Structure 1
């Protein structure tokens, strides 16, 4: 399998800016508002002084002592709890994405994924024949689903959490779109049912968490289950015209692991690309934010 190895960073984005990173934190601007949040990858020193961070930030996420992913937002300057930003690229993709402060430090958007939204939009626009059926697993708040729908795909969006599926619907409607199929289900159970039914998808997107729970408490552990999941995805991916995008954020994973997983499940694939996603801050440092593997038949 001859894959291209890449390090990908989103291009200029009017409504987003990574200002600085360091000290296990990151300082970001989303639209008009600047947030300070934990970032376990940022093990280096900050470039800007603490006083500048405090001066710029509208809100800071304070972690709980016993749970680094949970805590509460501390408001420094007035800002709304909910707001929205725009994303558009040179190929004609335009989306409105709704953001909110959550108790798990997330705000409903992973900016580094913009390079994958662009990839999906381009692939669907160039898809041979009829527009594809696309399955988005672990779809979260659905920016990838919206990008696929904007390109004309028939999209099934699956997540185990009802609230984030509702959030995704809001993103779809705010972007002036409709017609996405919404599923609240356990990803593994769903694709196994699809395989038994003989259903096929021309596009599959996977962005699994390290750990998670299905709607009925089903346990998900990335290292233990991703291999089985990809083998099942191989059963439901159209063998003729297809694309697949795998994205993983785990501190212990490299893109070589993704490449081995893909080869094990799909054999030799065409137009393969692998590598890492990162964001480049205004101060010049590069923040790694996950690995990817993607391939297509065209």
Structure 2
């Protein structure tokens, strides 16, 4: 089992502190305060320090613990949008961030370790132009990593505004050639299976719940098996890789390991574990589980 976190050399990101069901993060020149249900411990810094450091704070609607909806309260001078850069070895790209009504800012920084993996594994594919599929692709960090490595990249998400946001990130990064699909991920996979399509890389980052562009209902427990079965038919048997992320509270990385083995033939180079981010005071905040392999 592996524990993965972003490299400390990422100068545009820092987890300043965590605790009291909140996290305090710096993205570039701005620090934001957000709810975090897994930060069960006490904060390392005082409430006064949190208030001083935060350029914007997110407050849930009516204080509901499990509801990500709410409002941002920015200080004067805090922009609604700003940019950060990611650089790890030869992998470099830029992302536009923003304050959204669901507490997100446009990037999941714990995924940085997977961006590096995607870039390296895509670069290692020889004898053909790599083709990579990113499902539930959000604002496209993994998409940018694959594209930067030279892949013909397909980006699938069900929300039009998010796909537009990802396209903006591509343009900011000086990249091109990504195929944008506003679609329900499961329906897209099923159509690709019928077409006989094949991919060298597949990235799945499914939410616990979601809706497709035409109201299709996604429930992780109900639909995960079907989409993994489809992906097992789309992924090439050799010269290929897969990344599976699971965010639902209570999910173990052993679940991700078992799923990868069941649907992809017990791959020899299988890694599984937790994604986490350490704060500046040494506490480790868990932010999801993963399984990934190359073959």
TM-score range, shorter chain: over 0.9
Aligned to 1:78: 77
Measured in 2, the distance between the counterparts of 1:130 and 1:89 equals 25
Measured in 2, the distance between the counterparts of 1:202 and 1:103 equals 36
Measured in 2, the distance between the counterparts of 1:113 and 1:173 equals 21
Give the counterpart of 2:38 among 38, 41, 63.
Answer: 41
Q: CA deviation at 1:241?
A: 1.8
The DSSP-based 3-state class of the residue aligned with 2:233 is: helix
The DSSP-based 3-state class of the residue aligned with 2:237 is: coil
Q: Does 1:141 align with 2:160?
A: no
> Tell me, which stretches of 5 or more residues in structure 2 are unaligned?
none
Q: Which runs of 4+ in 1 moved over 4 A?
A: none
Q: CA deviation at 1:253?
A: 0.5
Measured in 1, the distance between the counterparts of 2:76 and 2:221 equals 41
Measured in 2, the distance between the counterparts of 1:78 and 1:93 equals 31
> Tell me, which stretches of 5 or more residues in structure 1 are unaligned?
none
Which string of whole-angstrom CA distances, capped at 9 and with x for unpartnered residues, describes residues 187-232 of structure 1? 0111001101111111100000011000011111111111111011
Q: Contact (CA 8 Å) 1:59, 1:77: kept in 2 or not?
A: no
Q: CA deviation at 1:264?
A: 1.7
Kindly report which structure 2 residues correspond to 1:23-42, keeping only aligned pairs within 5 A, or say none. Answer: 23-42=20-39
Aligned to 1:89: 88
Kindly report which structure 2 residues correspond to 1:121-200, keeping only aligned pairs within 5 A, or say none. Answer: 121-200=119-198
RMSD: 0.9
Q: Contact (CA 8 Å) 1:205, 1:245: kept in 2 or not?
A: yes
Measured in 1, the distance between the counterparts of 2:285 and 2:218 equals 27
Q: CA deviation at 1:128?
A: 2.2
Measured in 2, the distance between the counterparts of 1:180 and 1:88 equals 20
Measured in 2, the distance between the counterparts of 1:222 and 1:106 equals 20
Which string of whole-angstrom CA distances, capped at 9 and with x for unpartnered residues, describes residues 81-119 of structure 1? 0000001012x0111110000000000000000000000
Deviates more, 1:201-210 or 1:220-229: 220-229
Q: CA deviation at 1:132?
A: 1.0
User: How many residue pairs end up in the alignment?
Assistant: 292
Aligned to 1:117: 115
Measured in 2, the distance between the counterparts of 1:133 and 1:127 equals 10
The DSSP-based 3-state class of the residue aligned with 1:228 is: helix
